[in-house]
């Protein structure tokens, strides 16, 4: 028995890893098998075709790499760039900071555009840099679509418009770890060259698959990219794609079966319905925060994330105590404030295979914790605000109409 066992289910509301649907758990509950048998290549072929749908691409080439989002970052960078290449990268929170650290350690020349935590990427600065770069020394733009540390979503369509306006050939690399399959994401329409996500976020799988999708332009860039890569080398994958066996090394077989089940659930609900559900749950959460008299870390509505809400607490409260108390007393897992905002915010994740009543349970738990730590919340205020919104906006379940 787990030494931290508690009655009932853990209420998991961190912004990843997220709740795993029972159908996915059952799909992964199987013995090992030979990945060189005809079964695994046949399934892999369908997975590669279907993951393109969640990126909204017809021309991209996907790679299912047994890794985390951090490995997917490295894959995106090392397959397309050479040491010393100039990158413009936006620092807006903990995860964009970590990606920038990786870029620097891989010896790229990183031009960092920093914003206050709680703000989105400063695209006015990007416009100035692109306008001035007539020699096209900028080889890539790297941006985190959804910064989970602060609950900020960036406008990718505007980045593409700027690149097109200045006729700039820089590659467009996007971290979509906590956005793809939850927020509107259009790889082809927005001209994204490399997009990536992780299995433990909106796909609602265990951690372990870094899904990377490369445009034809990105694949062409691999021919001149001088960065050292071995485990993450796309060319090794492409050789086995041509052979029809697909895998240059042993894949995470159980996760592949889980991914098959996860995609089936998403397509059954409908990707656009999944995105709308995330928007609905996010709006309900923000209404609850407002009813509690607390503020969102995200400073403008245009940047509000539909997968995570970072809640700012008063100076006399340590937000880490909220997270500790929630777990110890109510079996509720919330996200900590990270780095610059440690102790100042707690985060409510509302992504993945999640419904309205699950969210309301979380909000009720948060209210009790706020009361525990001395914040004068009116019990039921946030839940009531969320209920009123959800009761008026939640559609019938499509499969039950």
Question: Which residues carry a binding-site annotation for substrate?
Answer: 347
CA distance 233 to 231: 6
Question: CA triplet 50, 55, 60: central angle to 5 degrees?
Answer: 80
- Give the DSSP per-residue string, 198-267: ETTTTT---S--EEEEE-HHHHHHTTT-----STT-HHHHHHHHHHT---SS---HHHHHHHHHHHHHHH
CA distance 324 to 363: 16
Annotated binding site: 347
Residue 301 DSSP one-character state: G
CA distance 85 to 389: 49
Contact 194, 173 (CB under 8 A): yes
CA distance 293 to 313: 10
Question: CA triplet 99, 278, 91: central angle to 5 degrees?
Answer: 20
What tokens were used for 353? 């295979």
- Give the DSSP per-residue string, 314-371: -TTS-HHHHHHHHHHHH-EEEEEP-GGGTTTEEEEE--SS--HHHHHHHHHHHHHHHH
């Amino acid at each position: 028995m787990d030494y931290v066992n508690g009655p009932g289910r853990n209420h998991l509301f961190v912004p990843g890893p997220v709740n795993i649907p029972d159908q996915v758990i059952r799909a992964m509950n199987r013995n090992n098998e030979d990945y060189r048998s005809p079964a695994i290549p046949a399934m892999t072929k369908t997975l590669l075709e279907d993951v393109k749908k969640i990126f909204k691409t017809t021309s991209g080439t996907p790679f299912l790499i047994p890794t985390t989002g951090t490995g997917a970052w490295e894959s995106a960078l090392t397959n397309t760039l050479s040491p010393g290449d100039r990158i413009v990268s936006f620092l807006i929170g903990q995860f964009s900071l970590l990606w920038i650290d990786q870029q620097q350690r891989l010896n790229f020349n990183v031009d960092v555009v920093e914003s206050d935590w709680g703000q989105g990427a400063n695209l006015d600065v990007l416009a100035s840099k692109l306008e001035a770069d007539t020699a096209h020394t900028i080889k890539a733009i790297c941006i985190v679509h959804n910064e989970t540390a602060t609950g900020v979503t960036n406008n990718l369509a505007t980045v593409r418009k700027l690149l097109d306006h200045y006729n700039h050939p820089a590659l467009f690399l996007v971290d979509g770890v906590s956005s793809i399959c939850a927020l509107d994401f259009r790889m082809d329409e927005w001209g994204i060259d490399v997009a990536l996500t992780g299995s433990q976020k909106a796909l609602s799988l265990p951690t372990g698959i870094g899904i990377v999708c490369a445009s034809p332009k990105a694949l062409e860039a691999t021919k001149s990219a001088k960065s050292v890569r071995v485990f993450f080398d796309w060319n090794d994958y492409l050789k086995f794609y041509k052979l029809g066996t697909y895998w240059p090394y042993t894949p995470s077989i159980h996760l592949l079966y889980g991914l098959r089940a996860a995609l089936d659930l998403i397509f059954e609900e409908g990707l656009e319905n999944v995105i709308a559900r995330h928007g609905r749950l996010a709006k309900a959460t923000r209404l609850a925060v407002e009813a509690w008299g607390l503020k969102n870390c995200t400073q403008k509505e245009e940047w509000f994330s539909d997968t995570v809400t970072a809640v700012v607490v008063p100076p006399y409260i340590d937000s880490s105590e909220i997270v500790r108390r929630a777990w110890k007393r109510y079996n509720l897992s919330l996200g900590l404030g990270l780095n610059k905002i440690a102790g100042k915010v707690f985060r409510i994740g509302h992504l993945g295979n999640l419904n309205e009543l699950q969210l309301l349970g979380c909000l009720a738990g948060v209210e009790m914790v706020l009361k525990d730590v001395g914040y004068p919340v009116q019990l039921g205020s946030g839940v009531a605000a969320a209920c009123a919104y959800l009761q008026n906006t939640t559609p019938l379940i499509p499969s039950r109409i």
